[in-house]
Amino acid sequence: MTIHLSNRKAKFTNLKPYCHFARQDDYIEVTEWSNGEGYDVTIHNVDGIKHMSLTMGEFDALTVLINYRGE
């Protein structure tokens, strides 16, 4: 059996400066996968805790769609 240790990179911020619906203690955290091929996203807000995992390709496609301004 082989065991690999990793230190996953995570970034965290309060949502209040970005969302007028956010409460003071609401936050978002993005953690890079150990293999570098995607992200885990956790959002804590008034609705509870939301979690999603995206591959790098899914993240790239989402970014393109969000930034698309039409032709």
Return the domain boundaries, the chain. Answer: 10-67
**Is residue 67 within 8 Å of 50, Cβ to Cβ?**
no
Q: For residues 68 and 18, what is the distance between their CA atoms, to the nearest angstrom?
A: 20
Output the six-digit token pair for 45: 């807000």
When pLDDT is averaged across residues 60-67 and rounded to a whole number, the result is: 97
The pLDDT, as a whole number, for residue 71 is: 79
- Residue 39: per-residue pLDDT: 97
Model confidence over 20-57: pLDDT tens digits?
A: 999 999 999 999 999 999 999 999 998 999 999 999 99
HSE-CB of 30 using CA atoms within 13 angstroms: 10
**Cβ count near 2 (within 10 Å):** 3
